[in-house]
Amino acid sequence: MMAKKKKNTKDNAIKQRSRHRLLTFMRVSRYGVDSFVRNSWLTVAATAVMTITLMIILTTFMAQKILNDTVSELKNKVDMSIYLKTDTTDEVGAKLVVELKKLSSVKSASFISSATARQQVIDTNKNDPDIIEAMTVATNKIPSALRVVVVDINDTTQLQKFVDSNSLLKPYINADYKPSFAGDKRSAIESIGRAVSFAQKLGIAAGALFVIISSLIIFNTIRMAIFNRKEEIQMMKLIGADKFFIRGPFVIESVIYGFVAALIAGGLGIWAIHAVSKTLDSYKISVMPTVDLVTIYALPMFGGMILVGAIIGIISSLLATHKYLRV
């Protein structure tokens, strides 16, 4: 009987503590919301800077995704040519294609005969009478070619070895034309790759800078709020308020900054990517995969941005309360 009574007493004590914690949390949350609403100009300043920070982070992510998709798409369109004698037959070309496809670095290969290559030049330049006239001259022969798309345009080791040592290829290789391992197109892709790398570094640096600026402004906002409520805080400390009850409202206020900023930044980001998608697509920039990604995963994206904003706000507020409240 005594054991049951002790158990009931213990259970009641646990329930009372739980109710007390819940009540304390509700009060802390209410004070945080009240402070967010009351300090209007400070709220606008802190929210605006955090919104810019989150916009920079989101824009950096989307820009990197667009650039990477564009580079990947261009890489798939880049073919490397091995030039053959003009009289190379389709049968020989087919055998060489089979040999090329055995290479692990080769994604695809095809044979273009001299006649086909000539017709392609004519079709491509049908509005240029000089080129059309030149193609009618019998001495202007266009070599046959093997067109190859590799997995990595920066790795042509296997392809070079194939050109140097393949016994089937040697009798048909065109000595007047060296193999073109992407040529100008490869240089363009490498330039874009360098641009992507620079953009990534610049975006990360800009994002980090705005995170620091945002944290400092929120830090100062919380510090000013603490200064304005200095007497109230001293009174709470004198009556024995614990650390959580004093710090809590400032933490909640900072989390609200992050939440509101994430909603604004996310909404602006989705609107912006849809607004510029048609223009970017008209310039052959691969933007649609990013648009689809942002649209499909909009909710997780908002959740991630809210989390980032909340973390920035919490760290800033905890640093401010630790330094200026001395609790």
pLDDT in the model for residue 193? 61
Comparing 302 with 75, the larger pLDDT belongs to 302
How far apart CA 291 and CA 273 sit, in angstroms, is 7
Residue-range domains of the chain with CATH: 32-73+190-324 (no CATH), 79-181 (3.30.70.3040)
* Tokens 């310039």 -> residue: 283
How far apart CA 131 and CA 139 sit, in angstroms, is 14
Mean pLDDT of 160-178: 88
Helices vs strands, H then E, count in the chain: 11, 3
pLDDT in the model for residue 189? 59
* Closest C-alpha to 287, from 94, 73, 27: 73
> Terminal CA-to-CA distance of the chain, rounded, Å?
45
Check: CB of residue 266 under 8 Å from CB of residue 257. Answer: no
Check: CB of residue 288 under 8 Å from CB of residue 237. Answer: no
What tens digit of pLDDT does each residue of 228-266 get?
A: 666 766 777 777 777 777 778 878 888 888 899 999 999
* Closest C-alpha to 84, from 26, 151, 155, 147: 147
Q: Place 303 in a pLDDT band, splitting at 50, 70 and 90.
A: very high
DSSP for 168-190, written as a single string: TTGGGB-TTS--BSSHHHHHHHH
